[in-house]
Amino acid sequence: MGRHASGRNNFALSTWVIVTIVVILALVAGYIFWSKARDNAGAEKTEAASQCIEGDLIVPVAESSPGVAGTLLASWAESAPIVRDHCIKPTVVNDARDAVLLLTTAVEAQVPAQLRELDLSSPDSPDGATPNALPVVGAIPVGLATPGDSGEPDESAAVFPVASEAAVAARVAQAIAPEQAESLLERDKNLSTTEALAGQAPVAMVEAQTPAGWSFHPIEGATTALRAVTLSPRANAAADNQTRAAAEFKKWASEQPVGDVDNSLITVALPDLSQGQPTTLAKRQPETTRDTLILLDTSDAMALWLDPVRGALHPMIDALGAQGVRVGLWNYSSPLSPTAQKGWRDNVRLGDAAAVHPVLDGFGTGGVPQTRNSLLAAVGSMAVQAQPGNPVRIVLITTGTADDAAVSAESLSSTLASVRGLVQLSLIHLGDNPIDPAVDAVSMFTINVKDPGELAGALNQASAL
């Protein structure tokens, strides 16, 4: 029988053959693209490595709260920064005193107090002054943390640890309760994060602070600014290059998109901070008792204060002694005799607390308060007497300063910066005379006592009792 024409080309390729060819071609093209990308990446890495002829440079970075810097530093590291032929390796350190850069959620006005608390100094905050502007390098989401997996938090029960994270607390309060924000922050102004987490109420914080066993609930659209503060490094061979790397980070961060960070809400909730003025939130009460030098003003201005001060100091001295710390006592005013060359008297070296009582009882008053000179002398002496890992706390009790023209604020600031880790200062200012801003700037804790009945509490706060 004859064949019938089907109308189809007998030489046409089957559909499955065509599909197979297309797939093979796609795979080959993909492999070629991947190979070129790999080669390019390898070339870039080789080129970067060839520029790092000095090797890697560790750049130590401190965080105001654990975890807030991780993502940002990882992004910077991925950009392969190079400084002076070093490949930069940013590394978060536990001891902020080892760092050359601090990433913090504090607002500018709180940075000097944060530096004092961490025993740091910074060219961004010379003389302990509030810096004019610190670069915002990131926007950190804020929210509420709740114990366990308790579902959506009860915002009406939230607490705000202002004493630990004022900016975060303010941002959360303003976001969830704008009408009550100021009163809520006033209510919780002395609340620390540790104290807040001891309860069961929702706690305002950033996600990185969320402890194990708690859940974090971000507030939509609510963020707080992450700022970069350059730190004065400890003396080491790499310090100059590390400082240059910190500047390079700031430059890089300034070129990255940050998003909207609404600081106006913070300044509404904390109006004093918007004016750049220190507030009761700016300095925290010391938390650990330490070897303590009492530096006592015995000028004429102390005449009405001396007896109540003595009455409050005796139990404080006993309490410190009971905790096994060393206690010392200096008094000062101005030279009271023609042969005297200095205004301070180093009466009792750091040692047994019991030795301080009889000397304290023997003081009278006279002269004017040469506070800055006396403080410089005390700082130098305590730096020598400090034990490794245990800085000496100077508790300065004063009515004011009469030698501000003789000793500059810069001298005080540089001296305290040079002994960071060895000496800390708590300032108790008595009466209505102005607080010396230079002394206040270098203190970790300042309190103004205007009523003798407040002395015992102030001394306990200043000495962490």
List beta partners, residue 293: 328, 394
Nearest C-alpha neighbor of 234 from the set 405, 417, 94, 362:
417
Domains of the chain: 292-462 (3.40.50.410)
> Cα(358)–Cα(312) distance, rounded to whole angstroms?
15
| Residue 355 CB partners (closer than 8 Å, separation 6+) | 348
Q: What is the pLDDT of residue 41?
A: 47
Tens of pLDDT along 155-172?
A: 999 999 887 778 888 889
Q: What is the pLDDT of residue 5?
A: 44
> Cα(169)–Cα(181) distance, rounded to whole angstroms?
9
Tens of pLDDT along 398-436?
A: 999 988 788 888 888 778 877 777 888 999 999 988 888
Q: Does residue 334 carry a pLDDT above 70?
A: yes
Q: How confident is the model at residue 125 (pLDDT cuts 50, 70, 90)?
A: low
Query: In angstroms, what CA-CA distances link 22 with 17, 27, 29?
Result: 9, 9, 10
Tens of pLDDT along 266-306?
A: 554 455 444 433 333 334 556 678 899 999 999 999 999 99
Q: What is the pLDDT of residue 203?
A: 94
> Cα(301)–Cα(398) distance, rounded to whole angstroms?
9
Strand order in the sheet with 423-430: 344-351, 327-332, 292-297, 392-398, 423-430, 445-449
What pTM value is reported for the model?
Answer: 0.50
Tens of pLDDT along 379-400?
A: 999 989 887 668 899 999 999 9
Q: What is the pLDDT of residue 315?
A: 95
Q: Does residue 314 carry a pLDDT above 80?
A: yes
Average pLDDT over residues 214-224: 88
Q: Dihedral, CA atoms, 41, 47, 53, 55, nearest 10 degrees?
A: -10
Q: What is the pLDDT of residue 141?
A: 87
